[in-house]
Amino acid sequence: MPLWIPITIAAAFLQNLRSALQRQLARDLTATSATYVRFLFGLPIALLYVAVLFVSFDTELPTPPTAFYIYAAVGGIAQILGTVLLVTLFTFRNFVVGTTYSKTETVLTAIFGIFILGETVGVEAGVGIFVSLMGVMAISVARTELTPGTLLTSFISRTALMGMGSGAAFGIAAVCYRAGSLSLEMEGALLPAALTLAVVLTIQTVLMSVWLILRDRPSLIAALRNWPASLAIGVTGALGSIGWFTAMTLENAAYVRALGQIELVFTFAVSWIWFRERANGREITGALLIIAGLVVLVLGA
């Protein structure tokens, strides 16, 4: 089994855990500050990880090319914008339309990968991505009155455009992170992925710190005051990001993000088994489609 597969699955699991912790913290913080703690408290973990790796491998820090910093900055900003758009969608009554369209991230990642890195997606892997995307969208609308027809007619609505904008931003971020790691031209995947993550988190932390200091100091103070919960989010988020960045250094970002959709299966399984919540037909169909699509993806990658 290629190494990127178990790494991606582990990253998806950690992301699911981080999201659960973030939802709990969001009760006491604004959406912006709840997002901010992920970067602020994750940065020390990323820096420590980089230091340990370079000492262990007895390797000197490389001199990154200009392109590396451009990819890191664009990717970091795109991820922040994607998160802001996604969080903003929750303020709309018909937010389901937007969040459903945000799931087009995997397809958009594949498209951006073609234009930015010249990477193509095989036929079998493409089918797998499409099938799993249908499964994700099925789960997204499983507990709503939304039908495929109404979803299609809302294609140009404000929420749909914001959703696709969010998906596009996350897709750009994923491809830029891979491009940044590859631009370092280092052997292996651990070191370039770790260095890219550290630089990206630094950029994101600085930008959001300045924003909160200038525009929302009470949220910044609340984030620091809730440091135990914030630290848990930072640790799980950093560990998950280590997995994502390593996997995307090893393999096409579109494949990694597509396989990462297994996170929804984890969420679905926890709600079904642990919380004893009943699943409806759409949810079961969606979960099966995701699994089937990911199997095709892995076999065709």
Q: Do 7 and 246 meet the contact criterion of CB atoms below 8 Å apart?
A: yes
Indicate the SS3 state at residue 259.
helix
Q: What gap in Å lies between CA 261 and CA 15, rounded to an integer? A: 11
Residue 207 has what pLDDT?
A: 94
Helix locations, 90-216, DSSP H: 95-102, 105-117, 123-140, 148-153, 158-183, 190-215
- 52-83: pLDDT as tens digits: 998 888 888 888 999 999 999 999 999 988 88
Q: Do 164 and 99 meet the contact criterion of CB atoms below 8 Å apart?
A: no
Confidence of residue 281 (pLDDT cuts 50, 70, 90): confident
- 178-224: pLDDT as tens digits: 999 999 998 889 999 999 999 999 999 999 999 999 988 888 888 88
Angle at 268 between CA 264 and CA 274, to 5 degrees: 135
- 226-240: pLDDT as tens digits: 888 888 888 998 999
Exposed/middle/buried for residue 116 (C-beta within 10 Å: 0-12, 13-18, 19+): middle
**pTM score > 0.75 for this model?**
yes
- CA-closest candidate to residue 132, choices 299, 287, 272, 298: 287
